[in-house]
Every structure is written in structure tokens, then in C-alpha cells.
Chains A and B, each alone.
Chain A
Amino acid sequence: MTGWPRALRRGLALFPAFGILTGLFFVPIALLFAVSFWSVKSYRLVPGFSPDAYARTFSFYGPLFISTMLIAAAVALLCVTVGFVFAYGARFRSGRYGDLFILATMITLFGGYLVKIYSWKAILSANGILNSALIWLGLVDAPVTWFIFNRGAVIVALAHFLLPFAILPIYSALRNVPDITLEAARDLGASPWATLVRVVLPQCKAGLVAAFAICFLSAAGDYVTPMFLGGGSGIMLGQFIVSEFSTRFNWPVGAAMSFSLMGVSALVIAAVWLAIVGRRG
């Protein structure tokens, strides 16, 4: 029995996964992109080619766009910095406990999206864990109200949710940094700081940028966290994509906002990539 030609076998093996990818991702994303140029007349979608939805996105939601990007950038920077410290500690400074810290990261990663948001609400709210603990310990007399319903609460909760997504790529980049290069640097008289900046960081740049990209995109597109913890100052664009899309049935504007969000995020990530990895050397 002669087997099927290799190319055919590969094609057949790829077909189910890429069929689903095409049918449920490329096609719907293309349709959503088309819808972003449509318009709405008396609650009915009118096909066409109009830039109105984009105009509304940037004129009406412009300031919100900027504050969403700032929140996402803060979250991503926080995750990359803290994630690097944690990954570095697990890789080089924890001996045989390193694997245990990575296990803790994995548990947090799979620990449930809504559960985490709910938990932060329970920790930060006026009658929550943090306030009741502070009062119980006699540190404050009345509940502190600024723990929740602001930008800070959103950043902390998003950073907690996304930290594992930063730790894991950075850790896997650090695993490829051989111990011997660190020893060589030390033997040649480099200070710990110089070793970090000139030996370790250059070898894990790509991992750092990957971590930044994942955290930035996820934070920028989130709407559940700001809804529960953001209050007035912590609102984000995602909440308005949902309201344009589901409650106002203005699909074109919801779609235009989605593509603007992804486009601007891609630009930010590309800029970070060029600044950090793009330079030669």
C-alpha cells in the first residue's frame, strides 16, 4: 500500500484547525471590519462605505481612548517590571524553590478570570477585607473609600490578572540565558548591576517585549475589570464598545472602536518593539 503524498497528508492534517480558524476568525473579523464602514438609520444597519463610525470613535471617544491607552501602558509596564523581578528571582535567586514559584504562577494563571475580579472587589470595597482588617487592627477609624472605584484599582486588578502572562514568557527567555555567561561577567569584574544591564537584559529582550505586548493588548481590550472596580475615573473603551454594540445596537461604531483599539495598540507595540529589539546590537 503506498501512502498518500506528503503534501496531501499535511494539508488534510491542517484542514480542521485552519478551517475553524478561517470560518470563525478570519471571516467574522473581515465581516466586522466591513460593518465598521456601515451606518445605522433608525435602528437598522445600512451597508455602505462611510467613515462616520471612525469619525465618531475619535471625536466622541477621543479622551477615553487616550486614558484607556494610558491604563494599558501602566498595567503592561508594571507587569513587565514586576514580572521580570519575579522571573529573575525564580531563575537565578531561588535555588531549588524556583520551580515552586513558577507553579504558583501557573495556579494564578488558571485561577479564574471573574473570580479574581470578584476577589479584588471584596478586598478593596468600603466594607471589604482590607478596610475591615485596618479597622480591626485600629489603624484607621473609618473605612478608606479611595481603595476602589478609580483608575488605581483597575490597574492593580489588571496587573494581578496579567502578571502570569508576563512572568511565563520572561521566565522562558531567562531559562535560555546560560549561568556560565553570568559567572564569566562576575569573574571579569562586572558589578551585579552591570551584569544585569549588559549581560542578562540584552539576552531576554524579545521575551520582555512579548510580555509587554500580551499585557498591553489584554489590558486595553478589557471591560469587566473597569466595570466592577473603575468607578468614574477608571472607565475604559471596552465598556463603551459593549454598550454601543449590545445596548444601542450601533454595530458600526462598536466595530470601528474595536478596530481603532487594535490598530492603535498594534502601533504602540510596534513602537516598543522597534525601540527595544529593533536597534542593532
Chain B
Amino acid sequence: MRIGSFAWPLVMGLLSAFLLGPLVLVAVFSFSSNALISFPMGELTLKWYRDLLANADFHAALTNSLAIALPVALISTVTGTLAAYAFAEWRTRLGLPLLALLGLPVLLPPLVIAISLVVLYVRWLGLPLGRPAVIGGHVLVTQPLVAAVIASRMASFDFTVLEAARDLGASRWQTFWKVTLPQMRAAIVGAALIAFALSLDEFIIAVFTIGGGNTISTFVWGKIKTTLDPSINAIATILLLMTIGLTLIALRLTRYRG
């Protein structure tokens, strides 16, 4: 046997452990009675979760996050899907450059996006910071991802079905509702879930544009800044379960790979 046959599983195993390890540790220690994250582990407990559920600040932060992530998911799904539809009609020539242009905000550092939005809101528009300000920033960075997911689904879309529907006398509107939408439904729902998960997790734009109050991520930020507070493990685990759960469902729905 060559060494290679052992080396690859070992390398892949070690790298997977490096990727997932930090996340697994946080989740495991959220059930530990130790105040500090250290070995040996303390006894199993749900204390941190109980503390968290009793914490009014956490409820407020969760409410804010949901009140931001829901509209973000709805708006970016509509704008992203419409854009992907236009790209698909253009086929290759203009579609790809336009998609890249739409994706520019994702490529730049979120810090730059955040301060440019503050300059716009505060100096030029005189708008107050708050939930709507965060929603705007989040739509900006989630709509290109929605458009990319939908566009990759549309690439394998059979457009002759639409012609068939039109030939059989369906109006454009009926064709859209009865033929296009049902075929795209899974991809659209999947894209919406990804947008929702990204908005829940996003921190930098949120912390600059929320003004007063907290989202879950700025709440976590406040806690990390002070100390290694064990309840962070519990919040982090809840956040992990929400974002990873949503994205796994989304990946199944969109059959998106890489």
C-alpha cells in the first residue's frame, strides 16, 4: 500500500476538524456548568439557556433581529428574483456582468459599506438610524446572493415549457403563476432562507446602523467585549442552530452545490 491511501483521509479529517472544531466546542461548552471554557468539562447543565430565556435584553435583541431579517428576506427575494429573471432573458452576454455589478457590495469590506451608509443616512438624508436603516444595508448584501441562487436554477430552466403554455392560450400572467413560479418555488424559498440566515448573523452593518438597541449579533458583541461570559455559548449555539438549520434546508431546496 502507498502512503497516499492513508495520508488523504488523515489530511481531510484534520482540516475538517479545524473547520468545524471551533463551532463544535462552543456548542458543547454551552452545556457545561463551568463558568470558564476549559478542560476538564464541568457537569452537564441547561443553566445558561435558562438564564438567557429569562433575560429581557436577549428578548429585545431577538425581536429586533427577527423584525430586520424577515423584511430583508422578503425584499431581497423579490428584488433578487426579478433581477435573476432579467438576467436569464439576456442569456450570457449582459447577464453575467450585471450579476457581478449587483454583487459588488458583497466583495467590498462590510466596514466600508457600513460607514458609507452612515454618511448617507446621517449627513445627506438626515434619517434616523434604526431598524429600517439596517434593513436597507442588509438587502444590499443579500439580494446578489438571492439573484445568484435563482439565476443558477434558471440556467437549467426549460423555457420551451413557457412557449408551450403561451401556445395553449395562457396569458403571460397565467404562465408566470401556473408554470414558472411552481418550478422555481423551491429555489425561491431556499434563497429567502439564506437571506434570512445572513441577516440574522450580520454584525458590522448592523452595529453601525442600528443606532440604539441591539440585534442578536450586537448583543453577542456587547457580551464578548466585556468577558468570556458563559451565556455567550448558549446564544452562539442558538444562533448556530438557526443559521445552519436554515441554510441546510435551503441547500436541500435549491440543490445548490459549490
Contact = CB atoms under 8 A, between A and B. Distances in A.
A16 B89 contact: no
Nearest to B124: A31
Interface of B: 8-9, 11-12, 15-16, 18-20, 22-23, 25-26, 29, 36-40, 78-80, 82-83, 85-86, 89-90, 98, 101-102, 104-105, 107-113, 115-120, 123-124, 136-137, 139-140, 143, 147, 171-172, 197-198, 201-204, 217, 220-221, 224, 228, 232, 236, 239-240, 243-244, 247-248, 251, 257-258
Contact of B119 (A35, A89, A105): A35
Given A24-B137, A89-B8, A16 B98 contact: no
Contact of A172 (B80, B244, B258): B258
* Max chain A Cβ within 10 angstroms of own Cβ: one of B86, B104, B115, B224: B115
A127 B140 CA distance: 40
A136 B240 contact: no
Interface in A79-133: 82, 85-86, 89-90, 93-94, 97, 99, 101-108, 110-123, 125, 127-129, 131-133
Contact of B79 (A9, A20, A112, A136): A20
B20 A24 contact: no
Contacts of B232: 118
Query: Which 3 pairs, one residue from A and one from B, show the smallest C-beta to C-beta distance?
Result: A221-B109, A132-B38, A28-B116
B247 A108 contact: no
Interface stretch (A53-61, A160-168, A178-186, A272-280): A160-168
A261 B109 contact: yes
B227 to A, nearest CB: 10
B12 A89 contact: yes
A117 B22 CA distance: 9
Given A28-B116, A127-B38, A115 B240 contact: yes
A24 B120 contact: yes
Contacts of A133: 39
Contact of B11 (A89, A108, A175): A89
Given A112-B240, A123-B25, A262 B108 contact: yes
B26 A118 contact: yes
Interface residues of A, number: 86
B247 to A, nearest CB: 4
A45 B26 CA distance: 44
Contacts of B197: 110
B119 A107 contact: no
Contacts of A105: 19
A112 B243 contact: yes
A245 B123 CA distance: 13
B109 A136 contact: no
* Max chain A Cβ within 10 angstroms of own Cβ: one of B113, B119, B136, B228: B119
Contacts of B221: 114
A268 interface: no
A160 to B, nearest CB: 7
Q: Is the interface of A mostly helix, strand, loop or mixed?
A: helix
Nearest to A220: B109
* Max chain A Cβ within 10 angstroms of own Cβ: one of B37, B116, B118, B147: B116
Contact of B115 (A85, A132, A228, A254): A254
A118 B80 contact: no
Contact of A171 (B102, B171, B224, B258): B258
A214 B109 CA distance: 10
Given A14-B98, A24-B137, A104 B112 contact: no
Contacts of B116: 25, 28-29, 31-32
A17 B82 contact: yes
Contacts of A41: none
B12 A17 contact: no
Contacts of A10: 86, 89-90
* Max chain B Cβ within 10 angstroms of own Cβ: one of A28, A171, A175, A220: A28
A74 interface: no
A128 B12 CA distance: 26
A254 B115 CA distance: 9
Nearest to A132: B38
Contacts of A118: 26, 220, 224, 232, 236
* Max chain A Cβ within 10 angstroms of own Cβ: one of B12, B29, B79, B147: B12
7 contacts: A17-B102, A31-B119, A93-B12, A97-B12, A221-B111, A224-B203, A245-B115
Contacts of B136: 20, 24
Contact of A121 (B39, B101, B228, B258): B228
A241 interface: yes
Contacts of B105: 21, 25
Contacts of B79: 16-17, 20
A238 B111 CA distance: 8
Contact of A129 (B18, B25, B118, B240): B25
B224 A121 contact: yes
A24 B90 contact: no
A144 interface: no
